[in-house]
Structure 1
Amino acid sequence: MAQADLDNTLLYYKYRVTAPAKLAGTALVVQDPLDQVLTTRKAWRYSPGERRVRRLPSLAYDSQQPDTSGLATADVVDSFNGAPDRYEWMLLGKREMLVPYNSYAVHQQGIAYDSIVQARTLNPQLLRYELHRVWVVEAKLRTGFSHVYDKRRFYIDEDSWQILAVDLYDASGELIGLQESHPISYYEVPMFNSTLETLYHLKDGNYFVDGLDNNEPMYDFEVKLSPRDFSPQALRRGAN
């Protein structure tokens, strides 16, 4: 990897699916550039059925996010990610509103996932909302581009700059989706970040949850990794 590539690197990302059985062993690695207009995102996926690593032709904008059963587009990870060039952006101002915050209850170790994920919504008894000041930013799809979300309205925490909620609209102006980011403070880092993210589809009642880790080992923020650990070769080695 050339030094020029490292200079434009935002982050590396890798995951491996352990369940359900039909997806177990599937893995993905992503190399994310800082300027995604200048350099496109690179992503590779390992399929245990084929025992091969394949380069994904596109993992951006409204392309389907792998292993989500079609419930999430690539750009909804972290509430929004990727190049912003297909939208016109407008700052609408600041307001007070109830938003997800200090979500330690839903982050507790040992809670059964079935008690968190319920029909049509997460268990409200485990969620916390607080009155906070947020910046309201609206993104409107530019002429000549297509996306399932024609307009997005972001509610961004004044203190942490964390996106806490997003309203999603279709081309007719109908509200069709809602994203929520449930944040906590990781004091040992220190870092304020989401422990759980949800994307609700308001028309059919389905929703996608990202970040369930209550019965998994806690993040190791001190692990030593290098760019080589996020290469397609490393993805293949990890499958053996």
Structure 2
Amino acid sequence: MKRTLCVALLLGLAAPVVAKISPAEAEKLKSELTPVGAERAGSKDGSIPKWEGGLTQPPACYPGAPARYCDPYPQDKPKFTISKANVDQYKARLTEGQKALFAKFGDSYKMNVYPTRRTAAFPDFVYEATYKNALNAELANGGESLSGAILGIPFPIPKTGNEPIWNHKLRYRGTGVDRWNIQAAVTTAGDFNLVKIREQVKFLYDTRGISPEQLNNVGIYYLQIVAAPPRLAGTITLVHETLDQVKEPRRAWQYNPGQRRLRRAPNVGYDNPGTGSDGLRTNDQTDTYNGATDRYTWKLVGKKEMYIPYNAYGLYSDKLKYKDILRKGHINQDLPRYELHRVWVVEANVKPGTTHIYKKRTFYVDEDSWQIVAVDIYDARNALWRVQESHILQIYDGGERLGHAPALETVYDLQSGRYLAQAMNNEEPQSIEKDYDVGFFDPANVSKQATK
């Protein structure tokens, strides 16, 4: 009897926790929903327009790669500005974190709200893959094992809380990228030092023509090399991000120039401090959220209209210096563009029997791009502790160069009054798409390059 019960329990753990949707429901991706699952229709009052296919061609101001992306809507002016004086009028469409920023920095904090531009778009082959994923993708082992998905959004019509998080982690970003990620931990006085990080990434999951079986359980290869300041220069982090983290947890290695050895690093993940962040973010806050989801329970609260950072071409400009962006208390709020969009709201609570410095997080996921655009973060006392925002823009080169990416990410610590800005590259070369060979991310190759 006991043996039968144990077998039944094991089978239950392995069984899918998310059922495939029916063909009839998947057909909505060709009618009332966009090909990645957003509502095609605009809002009842017209403030959110109908999705018309997104921004798929470069605007006239863009001369072509390798030029930096220009603002396709230079004529747009703010519809209104939210300030301490009128914040109560708009609070129904603000996150708890945004409201807390108004309360803490009321004399300087504001949000310029622009006309909503539904620019999100992906290549046709991503749409085709997303439709197939809708019929085939499944999660098992408490949501930690993904199967039956490739290239497109895994769960365009989400039913459970961790599905939008998987959609964010595997949203289409091209085959690979070589980019600079500039971080600044800003003090209460507004002072900062820059940490310069080069990131080289291969999005294996986004490879055309590959099957799920050919991934070897890896969705993303990630190499991080710190270039400055001198005390951190030469530090390397290598990650092979697995899709079934029950079968095999994330593979990670770190290289310390003082030790001159690339070592396995199981601590690269969860709530361990992020590289060069001065303790202002955890490893799983890179790209707003990454890695395993097994320390939380995930609840899909629903969809809501909210003012979120969007079309952040102004923040991406190479006419700006970092000192133009970074201010005391918060970034220069003259620069961000906020728009009214629909977001999926997902609530994550730490599971009994496990730990994380963040007891609770509320995620706001843009329905059009599946990018997490804001997070409210709570401490062990259930007090709002930190606030994240991701200022995103559409990559509009055309063809395979379509998708959303952050121009700037922020983590505000409400308790200390400090904040972290990351993903900036205003004074660095433009990010470039690059299709790396998998062997580039082999630990032996990385170790050889590091010790040259």
TM-score by length of 1: 0.92
Deviations 1:71-104 (A, max 9, x none): 2111111211111122111111221111110001
Equivalences, count:
237
2:233 aligned residue: 24
Kindly indicate whether the alpha-carbon contact (under 8 Å) linking 1:46 and 1:235 is maintained by their aligned counterparts in 2: no
Cα distance, 1:204 vs structure 2: 0.3
Q: Structure 2: any 5+ residue segments left out of the alignment?
A: 1-211
2:38 aligned residue: none
Cα distance, 1:147 vs structure 2: 0.8
Cα distance, 1:237 vs structure 2: 2.8
1:235 aligned residue: 446
Cα distance, 1:190 vs structure 2: 0.5
> Looking at both structures, which has the greater relative contact order when contacts are Cα pairs under 8 Å and sequence separation is at least 6?
2
1:69 aligned residue: 278
Kindly indicate whether the alpha-carbon contact (under 8 Å) linking 2:377 and 2:386 is maintained by their aligned counterparts in 1: yes
Cα distance, 1:19 vs structure 2: 1.3
Amino acid corresponding to residue 309 of structure 2 in structure 1: P
Residues 62/105 of structure 1: CA separation in 2 closer, same or farther (3 Å cut): same
Kindly indicate whether the alpha-carbon contact (under 8 Å) linking 2:304 and 2:342 is maintained by their aligned counterparts in 1: yes
1:85-104 matches, cutoff 5 A:
85-104=294-313
Q: Structure 1: any 5+ residue segments left out of the alignment?
A: none
Q: 2:328 aligns with which of 107, 119, 124?
A: 119
1:200 aligned residue: 412
Of 176-185 and 36-45, deviating more is: 36-45
Work out the CA distance in 2 between the residues paired with 1:120 and 1:22: 26
Work out the CA distance in 1 between the residues paired with 2:217 and 2:231: 36
1:81 aligned residue: 290
1:136 aligned residue: 345
Residues 122/37 of structure 1: CA separation in 2 closer, same or farther (3 Å cut): farther
Residues 131/213 of structure 1: CA separation in 2 closer, same or farther (3 Å cut): same
Deviations 1:98-146 (A, max 9, x none): 1110001111124211111222211112111111111111011111111
Q: 1:49 aligns with which of 236, 251, 258?
A: 258
CA-atom RMSD in angstroms: 1.7
Amino acid corresponding to residue 123 of structure 1 in structure 2: N
Of 224-233 and 178-187, deviating more is: 224-233
Amino acid corresponding to residue 322 of structure 2 in structure 1: Y
1:214 aligned residue: 426
Amino acid corresponding to residue 354 of structure 2 in structure 1: F
Cα distance, 1:8 vs structure 2: 1.1
Work out the CA distance in 2 between the residues paired with 1:116 and 1:213: 11
Amino acid corresponding to residue 215 of structure 1 in structure 2: E
Percentage of pairs with the same residue:
44
Cα distance, 1:36 vs structure 2: 2.1
Deviations 1:175-221 (A, max 9, x none): 00111111001112101121221111110012222211112121221
2:248 aligned residue: 39
Kindly indicate whether the alpha-carbon contact (under 8 Å) linking 2:295 and 2:356 is maintained by their aligned counterparts in 1: no
Decide which structure has greater helix share. Answer: 2
Work out the CA distance in 1 between the residues paired with 2:378 and 2:437: 39
Deviations 1:9-68 (A, max 9, x none): 110111211111211122211111112232111111222222222221322221222332
Work out the CA distance in 2 between the residues paired with 1:74 and 1:186: 26
The structure that has the greater radius of gyration is 2
Amino acid corresponding to residue 214 of structure 1 in structure 2: N
Work out the CA distance in 2 between the residues paired with 1:70 and 1:193: 24
Kindly indicate whether the alpha-carbon contact (under 8 Å) linking 1:37 and 1:85 is maintained by their aligned counterparts in 2: no
